[in-house]
A and B are shown apart, each in its own frame.
Chain A
Amino acid sequence: MTLPYSHTPNGRVLWTFEGGVHLPDMKSLSNGTAIAQAEIPSRLVLPLQQHIGQPAEPLVKAGDRVLKGEKIARGAGIVSASLHAPTSGLIREIAHHRIPHASGLTAPCILLEPDGEGRWGELPPPMPEFAGLDPGKVIERIRWAGIVGMGGATFPSAVKLAPGPERAIHTLIINGAECEPYITCDDRLMRERADKIVKGIRILRHVLDVTGECLIGIEDNKPEAIVAMRQALDEEKLEATEVVVIPTLYPSGGEKQLIRILTGREVPSRGIPAHIGIVCHNVATAAAVADAVLEGRPLISRVVTLTGGGIAQPGNREVLLGTLASDLIAWQGGYLPGVDRLILGGPMMGQALGSDQVPITKGGNCLLVPGPGELPDPGPAIACIRCGRCADACPMQLLPQQMYWYARARDMDKVQEYNLFDCIECGCCSHVCPSRIPLVQYYRFAKTSIWGLEAERRKSERARQRHESRQQRLERQEQERKAKLRKKNEALQDKPAAEPAADPKKAAIEAALQRAKEKKAKLAQEGVAPQNTAQLTEAQQRQIREADQRRAEAAPHNETSE
């Protein structure tokens, strides 16, 4: 048995997590060249939602001219993020456009036609003296810049930086693990812009008021990045901050796994790291924070890895947000013959895109185009043999084979009992499954079904409440009406009986009733029984009387015939 921890050369304890898989890292395909400069494409497509939370609200309309860095959409509510023009140009329209989504969905986007000049608009002043400022002011700047988690989670950073006064943060973790194969954007960023990342870390430390240390986790397959970051730390003289080299094991870069490796602590199920005094940010997020605070620049571009055997010239590139994947691939020399897949993200968690006419968004770290025979289709699934390799590989210690069984049977209660919602969808289980079952797909299906059911349940609950309150309202109105009537009656009885005569309307009615009575009495004296024929004319009444007489004469015959 191995201990759950080991020691680094400088004596730091490194913890391990259960499970995980060793993968061919394929990083050398794209990490050999420097980050290429941004180019301005002929059009930019900027989805209003590039983050977790509420979509942003557009501040521009078709026909507006905008300058680079100008805010074009405003974050709606707390958990949301603003959007800025990545370059100067003309707003063509605000319309539905395909977004990076496996199902090829469309969403509202701002379509910007660049003028090619890249003229900056007015920017807020840099805040070099941030250390003396109230953290709230710095967070406000970060919120303004529209920064989200750039490792792919895209959670608005400003929210994550304000965990609340009751949650003291003792450890800041900077995620430079980049454990997905193929992806090298963080690797290149750390090699080339370590100083900016470290400046960003200083800002994050100040904002979070970190009481303890800051740990920068980097997998040991990135030696150049490790050296660069350590050097930058020395130059910046950032204290209580350390680069910790961790073994290469997928998914070490998962937030929960990295926290476990570096601190030995577990993020509570359905909780967040702040619950245990830890906040975790990606290196690219730290760099974006430095840009926003020290230069007053909003988040308008990011580094994207363009890699795979199906791309002519793999590498990394600074990319304006909203650039279409097709433009990016073209700049890298285009597709090689025989490609049939385009993956946004890495091979383990990335989503296969149906089209390359989709934009790069804030969380888009990699475009992977496998060459022929690279990352082959696993083929049809066969029956689960319950070998349990999925459970051995699961970094969350779930029982994937049980979850699969119940997800397949659509037993959504049972699948939740097996902790479906602790699944991080890392793909380790599918990767090792000898039956080639697309396990993660089953879990996504189950999660979506459960969310659907819950939405349905909430809806019917609301409908029930509405119905009940309507019933109550009707009952109340009825009672009020009855109460009113009762009061009125009581009021009538309380009044003296002689009074009605004073009312001319009532007197008229009484007189009419009197007349009708007299008429009835007169008819009765004439021998006519009161009939329902009283309203008929005299002629009609005569006819009726004659008919009655005839009937009376014929009566004996009728009786016998009956």
Chain B
Amino acid sequence: MEFQTLSSPHSERVNSVSEVMSQVLLALLPAIIAMTYYFGWGLLIKLVLASLTALAAEAAMLWVRSRPICPALLDLSAILTAWLFALATPPLLPWWMTVLGMLFAIILVKQLYGGLGYNPFNPAMAAYVLLLISYPVEMTSWLSPRMLNEHLLGFGETLGAIFQGTLPAGLTWDSIAGATPLNEMRLQLGMNHTVSEIRQGPLWGSYGAKGWEWIGNWILLGGLWMLYKRTITWHIPASMLGSLLLVSLFFFSLDPETHPFGLFHLFSGGAMLGAFFIATDPVTASTTKRGQLIYGAAIGLIVYIIRTWGGYPDAVAFAVLLLNLAAPTIDYYTQPRVVGQGDGQHG
């Protein structure tokens, strides 16, 4: 009898890329629900719009490059990019900015470098930075969370705001907009208020800002679930949050009135999302264990530096892109000791 000859191992495989991606998407659900609860329908509309744009751009590029389309769309990586982008941008971002961001992310940052696995930069973060630099006002116009917002927009009103830029009669942008906690803190510190004075304001909750701190909790929950499912390892989230916490604690201990305490940094802006969902993007991150510790710690450090002394209130996207650039070098210098080499004799 004749048989087929495949190369070993012949075992039934235990992982697939689409499984990994769907686990990450699933882990994002608590954060998506929480954000929708606090900031309204905008996020969900953006999720759909960004996902459709990303899939269309991916399919078109694969067609142009004569690559099989279906397997690449089913790996869910384009959807993940879309979701991360949607979560990172303000709820009422004009529709064409979402489309522009996604086209840039998928076409320029991902497919032109060779598609999944070959892009040196995180597509969602590159798109975020492109828009932040080009349209700083729109990219920083957040809403006030539900407890501080008397005019939470309905579904139709949100659609109108996103697609036509119109608000319901009697409402102005100023009446619904709210500064992000990082922006607020930065602004107030700039006006020489002390941290304890600033925290007297209505915006603030128990360790971050109202609404925001709970979104941070739900992101953390999703992240912990991914750790439990071994979708990610602890190295990057722990080192990134750890370094951010340590550095902020250090400056906090030097002068608590001009430097917000550590937990504020972890639960504000993109830190939590960045630590579990963005810096852990395997394609663009460091792959060796020691390298991941360095990679994560450097991101945390740069986030703190830019937040405290830089020109932008938040810096996760910048820090991630900078370290994307350094990842291959970090990997090169942090190779593990191969068994049987060097002075690894035990016992």
Q: Which residues of A contact B (CB under 8 A)?
A: 4, 13, 15, 17-18, 21, 23, 102-104, 181, 256, 260, 263-271, 276, 326, 335, 339-343, 345, 347-356, 368, 370, 374-378, 380, 382-389, 391-392, 395-399, 401-402, 418-419, 422, 425, 427, 430-436, 438, 440-441, 444
**Chain A residues near B11 (CB-CB < 8 A):** 23, 181, 347-348, 375, 427, 431
| 9 more CB-based (< 8 A) A-B contacts, given A276-B345, A345-B8 | A266-B346, A339-B3, A343-B10, A351-B5, A352-B8, A397-B336, A397-B337, A399-B287, A427-B9
Interface centre among B72, B77, B117, B337 (most CB of A within 10 A): B117
Is B2 on the interface with A (CB-CB < 8 A)? yes
Q: Which residues of B contact A (CB under 8 A)?
A: 1-17, 19-20, 71-72, 75, 77, 114-118, 233, 282-283, 285, 287-288, 331, 335-341, 344-347
**Chain B residues near A345 (CB-CB < 8 A):** 8
A434 x B19 contact (CB < 8 A): yes
Write the chain A residue with the least CB distance to B344: A266
Q: Bound complex: CA of A256 vs CA of B11, how far in Å?
A: 22
In the assembled complex, how far is the CB of residue B277 from the closest CB belonging to chain A, in whole angstroms? Answer: 14
B13 x A351 contact (CB < 8 A): no
B5 x A431 contact (CB < 8 A): no
B14 x A432 contact (CB < 8 A): yes
B1 x A347 contact (CB < 8 A): no
**Chain A residues near B346 (CB-CB < 8 A):** 4, 15, 264-266
B5 x A352 contact (CB < 8 A): yes
A353: which of B3, B14, B282, B347 is its contact (CB, 8 Å)?
B3
A269 x B6 contact (CB < 8 A): no
B71 x A441 contact (CB < 8 A): no
A387 x B8 contact (CB < 8 A): no
A266 x B282 contact (CB < 8 A): no
B117 x A15 contact (CB < 8 A): no
A386 x B287 contact (CB < 8 A): yes
**Chain A residues near B339 (CB-CB < 8 A):** 17-18, 256, 260, 266, 269, 395-397, 422
Write the chain B residue with the least CB distance to A380: B71
A434: which of B4, B15, B331, B344 is its contact (CB, 8 Å)?
B15
**Chain B residues near A441 (CB-CB < 8 A):** 7
**Chain A residues near B340 (CB-CB < 8 A):** 256, 266-271, 396, 422
B345: which of A17, A265, A348, A375 is its contact (CB, 8 Å)?
A265
Q: Bound complex: CA of A386 vs CA of B337, how far in Å?
A: 19
A348 x B8 contact (CB < 8 A): yes
Q: Bound complex: CA of A431 vs CA of B4, how far in Å?
A: 19
A444 x B7 contact (CB < 8 A): yes
A351 x B8 contact (CB < 8 A): yes
Q: Bound complex: CA of A181 vs CA of B8, how far in Å?
A: 13
Write the chain B residue with the least CB distance to A374: B12
Q: Can you spell out 9 A-B residue pairs with CB atoms less than 8 angstroms apart?
A: A256-B340, A264-B347, A267-B340, A339-B3, A348-B8, A353-B3, A387-B20, A419-B341, A431-B13
A422 x B7 contact (CB < 8 A): no
**Chain B residues near A397 (CB-CB < 8 A):** 336-339
A266: which of B72, B287, B331, B345 is its contact (CB, 8 Å)?
B345
B116 x A376 contact (CB < 8 A): no
B10 x A347 contact (CB < 8 A): yes
Q: Bound complex: CA of A101 vs CA of B3, how far in Å?
A: 13
B17 x A349 contact (CB < 8 A): no
Write the chain B residue with the least CB distance to A18: B339
**Chain A residues near B344 (CB-CB < 8 A):** 266
A15 x B3 contact (CB < 8 A): no
B347: which of A265, A368, A401 is its contact (CB, 8 Å)?
A265
Write the chain B residue with the least CB distance to A384: B117
**Chain A residues near B337 (CB-CB < 8 A):** 397
Write the chain A residue with the least CB distance to B77: A385
A399: which of B9, B115, B335 is its contact (CB, 8 Å)?
B335
A399 x B288 contact (CB < 8 A): yes
**Chain B residues near A387 (CB-CB < 8 A):** 20, 282, 287
**Chain A residues near B118 (CB-CB < 8 A):** 383
A348 x B9 contact (CB < 8 A): yes
**Chain B residues near A335 (CB-CB < 8 A):** 1
**Chain A residues near B8 (CB-CB < 8 A):** 343, 345, 347-352, 425, 427, 430, 440
**Chain A residues near B10 (CB-CB < 8 A):** 341, 343, 347-348, 350, 352, 368, 370, 375
Q: Bound complex: CA of A264 vs CA of B345, how far in Å?
A: 8
